[in-house]
Amino acid sequence: MTAVRCIDLCKTYRQGDQDIKALDHVTLDIGDGGFVCLSAPSGGGKTTLLNAIGGLDLPDSGEVWVAGERIDRLSKGELAERRLHNIGFVFQAYNLIPVLTAKENVEFVMQVQGVPAADRAAKSLAILDEVGLKGLEDRRPAEMSGGQQQRVAVARAIVSRPALVLADEPTANLDSKTADELMELFVLLNETHGTTFVIATHDKRVMAYAKRLIKMLDGRIVDDIAQGSS
Amino acid sequence: MDALKVILLLAWRNLWRNHRRTIIMVTAITTGAWAMIFMTALMRGMVNDMIRDGLRALPGHVQVHHPDYRSDPSVTNRLHVDVAEIDAAFAAAGIERYSVRVRVPAIISSERESRGVTLVGIDPRSERRIGAVGGDIVLGHDLEGPEDGGVIIGRSLADKLETEIGKRVVLMSQDPDNEVADRGFRVVGLFAANLAAQEEMFVFAGRETLQQMLGIPGQASEVAIVGDDYRDVAAVTAAVRRALGDEDEVLPWQELDEYLGTMLSVMDGFVLVWVVVIFLALSFGLVNTLVMAVFERVREIGLMLALGMRPSSILGQIIIESLLLLVLGLLIGNALAFLSVIPLSDGIDISIVAEGMEMFGAASTLYPELIMSDVIMANVVVLVLGFFASLSPAWRASRYEPVEAITKV
């Protein structure tokens, strides 16, 4: 089964007088349980592709299919619904909600999904334990380190067991030890739960964890390499 | 339901992210709510006083007259029903607080002066039941019954006529055949009113004595009925109409005294304008606070949208933040207004401006009056307009593109 299918995606941004092709006829299939890294220099199109797959940004042309459903024609509300139930996001900056504690941040998505309170509490405590944040449940983002915040963001992304996790430079603000721990966590989740990961990065250590490495340049896929997982 | 809980939680916590801004805004709303309710209570007190005084001149929330009486208040335009029939009809209808009067234009003459007046023949016992002239007698005594041969005149009229208690005056009017009807009366009491014009206009005599003088035994020209609340006279008016039929004209005080009736309507409108004006001043602060709160959290709003929160939930969150601010301010403002009005229930002495106030028929002591409908209206206006004021920033927040918002620095 195909988790993600992109067909002939094009996206052009206007910057000053210049048109910049962020996606230039990108076609891509990612199977269920894939662990894929999108690698490109800055401006290469990896974040734009990730956003298109996540329904955060619409392509100018082409088709985006996620879990067998074409999503590029859905309304804003429908896209929000798909993101809520099917996709977990990890962003470069930690992007936690500052007024909520670690536990509340993790529960946020489930709460919007309508998961019962007891269920939410049990799942959020378990996932925080799993990402190594036991005892920090009641801390607010400002009271945690960068690594801890990113772990909370990962916990939030995976707690409702989405089929697909999209991560944009998830290790960019982490030291190497924390980055390794985070990637090992991703691998573990991929192997134990079959979660599909698509990670945009230009960090070679992150790429080393991928089963498949897709290289992009100027909005085009220039290389698609199958790798053995480390 | 859970989504609403998280929206409420976020809204409440976001309010306290910037304590200072929230406290300033709540203080402004509190002050506004207090000012709206307290000042409205003062204005209501003043207008109530003016209206009650106006109604006290010749009490009756509802009055019955011959259909032509108001354009020609002569004895010719008497009621179609006589006093006995009125008593029987009202007894059957359970109407107790009323007074039947003879009321005609007349000329009063002392040894020195003559003046045009309104001569009112009353039964002092029934007038007392509806809270009339007896309580305002400042010199002498009240009439003893409808057959009393004395008159009560205003203090100011006594001065003008250069007469006093115990002296005789002559009252002259017309009988139903347009013949002169006159009689000598002894002044037995002087009454006082807020307006000198009222003291000079009305002269009170015994109803039966006057009926005899005018040659209309058992007949009357006016019935005055008092209800529980001068604001709500529709039921009394309907009951009187049912009891007396259609031949005579039954009118509430607002139509009998259009000045007083209009004053109450103007007051109602003024209260609304006052509340809206205060709110408009508040709304600038409210909108500014909300816009700032939205601008500060563009990334966060983008994140929530990216995670799957619907734009409508973002809209709801900002509106709830605004409503929480308003509710908080209103609660404190209402409490302060009540606490300010209660200690003033014995009245505020405004005798320093009493002369000016008398011009409008108001007394020198002001009794603030909190009317629930005013309090509710002030709160509803603030909440409803506050809701609309918060729509713009809330709408703006809900329209953010998550991908742009989330990368905002």
Residue A84 contacts B, CB cutoff 8 Å: yes
In a domain, A68, yes or no: yes
Q: Which residues pair with B224 in a beta bridge?
A: B63, B99
Does residue A2 sit at the B interface (CB-CB below 8 Å)?
Answer: no
pLDDT of residue A95: 81
Is A85 within 8 Å of chain B by CB? Answer: yes
| Closest CA–CA distance from residue B333 to any residue of chain A (Å) | 28
Q: Domains in chain A: how many in total?
A: 1
Contact B300, B408 (CB under 8 A): no
Q: What is the pLDDT of residue A230?
A: 44
Chain B hits for A80, CB-CB cut-off 8 Å, are 305, 308-311
8 Å CB contact of B311 and A111: no
Rounded CA separation A170/A186 (Å):
11
Does A58 lie at the interface with B, CB-CB under 8 angstroms? no
Q: What is the model's pLDDT at position B183?
A: 92
User: Vertex A215, ends A93 and A79: CA angle to 5°?
Assistant: 55
Q: At what angle do helices B298-306 and B311-341 cross, to 10 degrees?
A: 130
Q: In this structure, is residue A22 part of a structural domain?
A: yes
Per-residue pLDDT tens, chain B, 409 aa: give them.
566 777 887 788 777 777 887 888 888 888 888 888 888 888 888 877 777 777 766 667 889 999 999 889 888 899 988 899 999 998 998 888 889 999 999 999 998 889 999 999 999 888 877 766 545 788 888 888 999 999 999 999 999 999 989 999 999 999 998 899 999 999 999 988 777 788 898 999 999 999 999 999 999 999 999 887 777 788 888 888 888 888 899 988 888 877 777 877 887 788 778 778 877 777 777 777 777 777 777 888 888 888 888 888 888 888 888 888 889 999 999 999 999 888 887 777 776 666 665 555 555 677 888 888 888 888 888 888 888 888 888 888 888 888 788 776 5
Q: Which of B2, B14, B308 sits opposite A99 (nearest CB)?
A: B14
Does the beta carbon of A57 lie under 8 angstroms from any beta carbon of chain B? yes
**Could you tell me if B44 and B369 are in contact, meaning their C-beta atoms sit under 8 angstroms apart?**
yes
Is residue A229 one of the residues assigned to a domain?
Answer: no
Integer Rg of chain B from CA: 31
Length of chain B: 409
Query: Do the beta carbons of residue B249 and residue B69 sit within 8 Å?
Result: yes
User: Of B6, B17, B303, which has the smallest distance from its Cβ to A112's Cβ?
Assistant: B6
| Of residues A159, A135, A158, A160, the one with CA closest to residue A148 | A135
pLDDT tens per residue across span A55-109: 988 899 999 999 889 999 998 888 888 998 889 998 877 688 888 899 999 998 8
pLDDT, averaged across chain A: 88
Q: With CB atoms and an 8 Å threshold, state whether B13 touches A156.
A: no
If you write DSSP's letter for every residue of A191-227 in order, what string do you get?
A: HHH--EEEEEE--HHHHTT-SEEEEEETTEEEEEEE-
Terminal Cα-to-Cα distance of chain B (whole angstroms): 33
Residue A204 covered by a domain: yes
Query: Residue A111 domain-assigned?
Result: yes
3-state secondary structure chain B: CHHHHHHHHHHHHHHCCCHHHHHHHHHHHHHHHHHHHHHHHHHHHHHHHHHHHHHHHCCCCEEEECCCCCCCCCCCCCCCCCHHHHHHHHHHHCCCCEEEEEEEEEEEECCCCEEEEEEEEECHHHHHHCCCHHHHEEEECCCCCCCCCEEEEEHHHHHHHCCCCCCEEEEEEECCCCCEEEEEEEEEEEECCCCHHHHHHEEEEEHHHHHHHHCCCCCCCEEEECCCCCCCCHHHHHHHHHHHCCCCEEEEHHHHCHHHHHHHHHHHHHHHHHHHHHHHHHHHHHHHHHHHHHHHCHHHHHHHHHCCCCHHHHHHHHHHHHHHHHHHHHHHHHHHHHHHHHHHCCCEECHHHHHHHHHCCCCCEECCCCCHHHHHHHHHHHHHHHHHHHHHHHHHHHCCCHHHHCCCC
- Chain B positions in Cβ-Cβ contact with residue A52 (cut-off 8 Å): none
CB contact under 8 A, B300 and A89: no
- Spatial distance between the Cα atoms of B34 and A48, rounded to a whole number of angstroms: 54
CATH number of the domain that residue A199 is part of: 3.40.50.300
Under DSSP, the state recorded for A47 is H
Q: Would residue A42 count as lying in a domain?
A: yes
DSSP β-bridge partners for residue A196:
A164
Q: In terms of CA atoms, which chain B residue is nearest residue A92?
A: B407
> From CA B267, how far away is CA B349, in angstroms rounded?
22
Q: What is the pLDDT of residue B208?
A: 93
Pick from B303, B305, B308: CB nearest A97? B303
For chain B, the residues whose C-beta falls within 8 A of a C-beta of chain A are 1-3, 5-6, 9-10, 13-14, 17, 299-300, 303-313, 401-403, 406
d(CA B236, CA B249): 14
DSSP string, A75-105: -HHHHHHHHHHHEEEE-SS----TTS-HHHH
CA distance B268 to B274: 10
Interface test with chain A among B1, B6, B409, by most A beta carbons within 10 Å: B6
Pairwise CA distance, residues A229 & B3, whole Å: 40
Contacts of B288 (CB under 8 A, 6+ apart): none
Q: Could you tell me which chain A residue has the CA closest to the CA of B406?
A: A95
Inter-chain touch B2–A99, beta carbons under 8 Å = no
CB-CB under 8 Å, A104 with B311: no
State CA A32 to chain mean position distance. Answer: 15
User: Which range of residues forms the domain containing residue A170?
Assistant: 2-224
The pTM of the full predicted model, rounded to 2 decimals, is: 0.66
User: Which of A221, A169, A202 lies closest to A9 in space, CA to CA?
Assistant: A221
**pLDDT score for A167:** 92
* Locus of tokens 């992009």: A216
Asked if A109 lies within 8 A of B406 by C-beta distance, the reply is no
Q: Which residues of A touch B307 (CB under 8 A)?
A: 83-84, 89, 108-109, 112, 156
Flag if A99 and B13 touch (Cβ within 8 Å).
yes
How many contacts (CB atoms, under 8 Å) link A and B? Answer: 74
Helices A76-86 and B311-341 sit at what angle, rounded to 10 degrees?
Answer: 100
Mutate to test the interface with B, among A96, A111, A154 (most CBs of B within 10 A): A111
Q: For residue B351, what are the contacts with CB-CB under 8 A and spacing of at least 6? A: B364, B365
Nearest neighbour of A91 by CB, restricted to B309, B310, B406: B406
- State the residue for tokens 């205060």: B278
Give the residue from B194, B195, B201, B223 showing the smallest Cα distance to B60: B223
